[in-house]
Amino acid sequence: MENSDTADSIPVSALKGIGPRIAERLKKLNIETVQDVLFHLPLRYEDRTRIIPIGTARPGHSVVVEGVINHAEITFSRRGKSRRMLLCHISDGTGSLLLRFFYFNKQQQSRLVAGARIRCFAELRYGASALEMIHPEYTVLSEHESVAVEDKLTPVYPTTEGVHQTLLRKITDQALSLLQQKNILPEYLPDQILKKYNMPSLVDALGYVHRPPPDADLSELLEGRHRSQQKLAFEELLAQHLSLQSLRQKMRKHNSYQLASANHLIYQFIKSLPFDLTAAQQKVNQTVLDDLEQASPMMRLVQGDVGSGKTVVAATACLKAVEAGYQAAIMAPTEILAEQHYQNFSHWLQPLGLKVAWLSGKLKGKPRQAMLELLKTGEAAVAVGTHALFQDEVTFAKLALIVIDEQHRFGVHQRLALREKGASSAQVPHQLIMTATPIPRSLAMTAYADLDYSVIDELPPGRTPVATVAIPESRRDEVIQRVEKAGASGRQIYWVCTLIEESDALQCQAAEDTAALLTEILPNMSVGLVHGRMKATEKEQVMQAFKRGEINLLVATTVIEVGVDVPNATLIIIENAERLGLAQLHQLRGRVGRGIQASHCVLMYRTPLSELAKSRLAVMRETSSGFDIAKKDLELRGPGEVLGTRQTGLMQLRIADIVRDEHLLDDIKQVAEVLYTHFPDRVRPVIRRWLGQSEQYGLIG
């Protein structure tokens, strides 16, 4: 299928005008071959195919105008005489406008003079006294010269320092010319697929996307809805899917531990719980237990909204491993969440005669050595901890199951390191991944295609939605009165401090200041404080006191985002709510509404609000559904941020958009099956074309 004369084997230096220096700059854009040039796709387009009369041009639009310079002058900005500007007043008989140049040389100055005819392209803006173009691209025309306008829409490409649009357009022209002359770019989608989905050929699609004709629908192109763009988006999402499926198949080739047991410990555990499992929990539980009895490693993502009971499912899985004679490990991203899991697992498993080990970065000296020994000998059946679990000196006797909570906060290598702890020459551990971050279907189908996927889509009975209001900071006094009233009625309250600055120290200082202020204003209330710079033991003491009801009002930074369960807490105030993402706001709101009493969330914001912040706060007021919130979050922020910075490489899509292109995903799954079954030799080339060596972004290696 591939030969030595394909686009991915022709170096970019083979194109005219590309010497070693420019080749090095292009490398920053991941352009090293002719194929890379062809798949470096436009961000947007400019219409330079017609000259617009100045009198009909509208601000906010980028247009081509042609006119005569009536007057040119050098002036100085108001900031002082250090900043010169060249101003050219032009008109064409229908209207006039001002060209403003901040950077210019003597040669430009000598050409841009009264009487010169000039053609310009730029965005039209309102100036102080007239319409303006700032630093337009321009051509000075001789008196009778006739210069044709562009015959195609002009693409605007992603660029980097030292690589300008003109260069990218020139090398793309050469690459497209080569594409037409020689068969250098294989079509990896079979003919029957192209016909079935009415797709253009790859060569036609690339030609259209790089050089759209003048009659192209610009709005359709800018929205990515043209069939040529959709063809490329389809292939890009297919490459993502195939990459993750390849990782999945790679993992499936390993053997794992068949955890067969009579499930006595599980029955005892479930019987001891003070509540009945929901139907959704029971269903996911059974699926996980079935997975664990297989010889191939389980790779399952369990997603459930805040408070849906994922931890119980994790505990059941751990008991399955323990009863079969093995160990299980639970890894959480933060000390406070890991501590919460340790308390829960100790409370549940110790009555069953099982020892739970605890490992965190803050555990030192003899206590740490003691825990390491428990894991090494197998005396501890279950280990709970942070990333400290995969440090070199940690050795497990027989690790068969790894549970990873809020997995998107861990990097790929961290998860692989923990898996290696339980890997023998013949077997690797099962993996159960949990997240309380609701994941829209489109994101699950692209980012987690290597995992089986289960949803706990039911909350325990008695849970009532949290009523949410957004209040400006100017009404802080009203909020404090509300806090006082809730405290007087025996309820408990969270007050969450966030700052515009990202500094951990400033966050903690804000929480300390707020706690001191509230202690002074509310003398009848017991105020506690928790922040990220406190010692684990100090945080634990405060949290336990809050759980016991000894503290009415807990002031905290966002460290309480996950893992804190106090059913008597019915009010949460979130300061500077406008600066938090929807997922984080939803997680924080989930700290209340965990009992049977009506609960409330107050989002306190600073004005003025951006449009994005207004959208977020509106969504929080209107819905309590984690899935609705997640879908909106994906639309507002994009997949990279929703997944977390550790995974953004996976979602750096060139042309596809998983919100816009969700309708393609089911077809992509089917086409992937066709390629694997009937055209397996095309799988690797498709992945390589779009992802290069980026397969390491697969979430499970």
Q: Annotate 98-145 with three-state secondary structure.
A: EEEECCCCHHHHHHCCCCCEEEEEEECEECCCCEEEECCEEEEECCCC
- Kindly state the average pLDDT of the residues 16-44: 94
The model's pLDDT over 33-46, given as tens digits with 9 standing for 90+, comes to 999 999 999 999 99
Rounded Cα–Cα distance for residues 307 and 564 (Å): 10
Alpha helices by DSSP H, 626-664: 626-637, 639-643
pLDDT score, position 507: 60
For the chain, give the number of residues: 701
Q: String of b and e for 455-474 (b: at least 16 CB within 10 Å)?
A: bbbbbeeebeebebebbeee
pLDDT score, position 643: 55
Largest CA distance in the chain: 97
The model's pLDDT over 32-86, given as tens digits with 9 standing for 90+, comes to 999 999 999 999 999 899 999 999 998 988 899 999 999 999 988 766 556 789 9
pTM above 0.85, yes or no: no
When mean pLDDT is compared across 360-364, 398-402, 559-563, 687-691, the lowest value belongs to 559-563
Tell me the CA distances in angstroms from 281 to 111, 290, 309, 310, one per residue in order: 76, 14, 7, 8
Q: Catalogue all structural domains in the chain, each as residue range(s) with its CATH number.
A: 12-45+155-223 (no CATH), 54-149 (2.40.50.140), 264-456 (3.40.50.300), 467-623 (3.40.50.300)
pLDDT score, position 697: 41
Report whether pLDDT(537) > 80: no
- Would you state the torsion angle of the CA atoms of residues 288, 293, 294, 295, taken in this order, to the nearest 10 degrees? 130
- Would you state the torsion angle of the CA atoms of residues 130, 131, 136, 141, taken in this order, to the nearest 10 degrees? -80
Rounded Cα–Cα distance for residues 625 and 440 (Å): 12
- Which H or E element spans position 399? strand 399-405
The pair of structure tokens assigned to 309 is 């009971």
Inter-residue contact 449 to 240 (CB < 8 Å)? yes
The pair of structure tokens assigned to 180 is 């037409």
State the distance between the two ends of the chain, measured CA to CA, in whole angstroms.
28
Rounded Cα–Cα distance for residues 525 and 488 (Å): 8
- pLDDT above 70 covers a percentage of the chain that reads 89
When mean pLDDT is compared across 460-474, 498-512, 524-538, 599-613, the lowest value belongs to 498-512
pLDDT score, position 528: 93
